[in-house]
Amino acid sequence: MRYRTPLSLLILLSSMALIAGALAFQYIGGLSPCELCLAERWPYYVAIFVSAVVVALRRPAIERVARGFFALLFLASAGLAFYHVGVEQHWFAGPTACTASGAGATTLEALKAQLMAQPVVRCDVPQWTLVGVSLAGWNLVASLVLAALALLLAPGRRRFPQTAAS
């Protein structure tokens, strides 16, 4: 049996491109990532490592297991991205570390201390959008596409129904 790694190679290249894009927005475009943005990168770091190992090993059994892993990884990534979109749209309360409003401070000194402890970048305010979709929204789309590819390209899936003549 000839061994091919189209999915793992696709996952590797896609994840590297997405991380490169995020880093370009950060270091070239000047967009500082919020706490949730940084968390959303972790599934791609994991995917880069795992897919590089799978491509290097070239073993069909490992490829089959990795495909299920990639599907779960990118579904989790989509869930995290959906949460971030929900925070941006104020559907959900975000982490207090990046969405605190100053509530709870009883004195001016306490309010000042709370404000000084807050990160500069807020999770509930998109810094950049394309056609009205934030980077978290585009990450949601990318994660769902990669999860779907992992599921659709799963080994053993029949592409066409079997007929009685086959």
| pLDDT 10s digits, 68-114 | 999 999 999 999 999 999 999 989 888 876 765 556 667 888 777 76
- For residue 133, give the H/E element and its range: strand 133-134
pLDDT tens digit string along 126-165? 888 889 889 999 999 999 999 999 998 765 554 445 555 5
162 occurs within a structural domain: no
126 occurs within a structural domain: yes
161 occurs within a structural domain: no
Alpha carbons 34 and 22: distance in angstroms, whole number: 12
61 occurs within a structural domain: yes
164 occurs within a structural domain: no
- Quote the Cα angle for 34-39-45, to 5°: 125
59 occurs within a structural domain: yes
Number of compact structural domains in the chain: 1
72 occurs within a structural domain: yes
pLDDT band, residue 118 (cuts 50/70/90): low
Q: Specify the CATH number for the domain of residue 90.
A: 1.20.1550.10
Cα 157 to the center of its chain, rounded Å: 26
102 occurs within a structural domain: yes
- Residue range of the domain that includes 38: 6-152
Give the pLDDT score at 160: 46
Kindly tell me if the per-residue pLDDT of 65 is higher than 70. Answer: yes
The Cα-based distances of 84 to 4, 26, 38, 80 in angstroms read 36, 18, 11, 6
- Are 142 and 47 in contact by the 8 Å Cβ rule? The answer is no
- Token pair of 22 as six digits: 């995020």
